[in-house]
Amino acid sequence: MSLNQISKVYATALLELAQEANSLESTEEELSTLVDIFFSDESIRHYFLSPLVDPSEKVRTAEKSVQGKASEIVANFITLVVRKNRFLYLKDILEDYRTGVDRLKNRSSLRIVSKDSLGKEAVDRIIKSISSKFGREVRVTEHTDLNLIGGFKIYIDDFLIDASIRAKLAGIEEALLQKKIPVGAFE
């Protein structure tokens, strides 16, 4: 089974449980919080990924760490993921779960990548434009990429809108290369 399939299988199972319990959003919030905690602290991440730590000890630690801090569905899910040695896939599972919730809620995922934060007004204009164009609600995440010269990129579902300076320069370069310049034109 490929890595992508593993996260999808777990995310689908969690999605079905959360849908039955009518807790799609709350499950997502809890799982997101726990994934952030687990992966933001390097010592926690190394503990659960270490082959030197006894697997049953990892399960007990996971049970204790989520007990009382998460719903029964999320607590049992985290314990299952640790027991099946799938801790490494938690971030991917969360992303696949979010995609599933978006699909069920007829919502699109919108990711804006720019060199610097665009500001609330610009983001609101982008959201309004995209939601009217696609005819659905959007969930927005904003990221910065210091490698961009300027401009921004918008990822929505399977589409990319590249309004970066680098893309514009590449377009200009391509246009110049396509034009045939007669020999001796610059002499």
Give the pLDDT band (50/70/90) at residue 186: low
> Residue 183's pLDDT is what?
53
pTM above 0.75, yes or no: no
**90-121 b/e (C-beta count within 10 Å ≥ 16 → b):** bebbbebbbbbbbeeeebbbbbbbbbeebeee
pLDDT digits (tens, 9 = 90+) for 151-172: 888 888 778 888 888 888 888 8
Domains of the chain: 3-103 (1.10.520.20), 107-178 (3.40.30)
> Residue 102's pLDDT is what?
85
